[in-house]
Amino acid sequence: MESKRTLPVLCLAILLGAGSAKAEVIVVTMDSMTISPPEVSAKVGDTIQWINKDLFDHTATARTGDWDVVIPAKTTAATVLKKAGPIAYYCRFHPNMKAMIRIEQ
Ligand SMILES: [Cu+2]
């Protein structure tokens, strides 16, 4: 008769829920009257930070009315995304400057 010894292996896997993804800061640049990248994906709770490299002020104005952020010349400004959905935005001073944020829950 053979006796076998087996080592018990304990595997502790602690899985955190899907809702615990950490918030990110997404950087969008305004340079030479162009918003880049023109479209970004984000999640609720993420921050969008705009960097205005131009010598004049811009705004990031949501067409939904959710936010209207002024980014003075050569500065940065940010907003936290509070709800899901695609949000198109533009600059009130230069309406040809347009971009989009796709926000997931
Ligand atoms: Cu502008």
Give the pLDDT confidence score for residue 72 in this predicted structure: 98
CB 103 within 8 A of CB 44: yes
Number of domains within the chain? 1
Report how far ligand 1's centroid is from the alpha carbon of 98 (Å): 9
Residue 95 belongs to a domain: yes
Give the pLDDT confidence score for residue 2 in this predicted structure: 54
Alpha helices per DSSP H over 5-88: none
54-67 tens-digit pLDDT: 999 999 999 999 99
Range of the domain at 68: 23-104
78-92 tens-digit pLDDT: 999 999 999 999 999
Report how far ligand 1's centroid is from the alpha carbon of 88 (Å): 15
Whole-model pTM? 0.79
Query: What residues flank ion ligand 1 with Cβ within 5 A?
Result: 58, 91, 93-94
Given the structure tokens 């002024």, which residue do they identify?
Answer: 70
Question: Which CATH number fits the domain that encloses residue 86?
Answer: 2.60.40.420
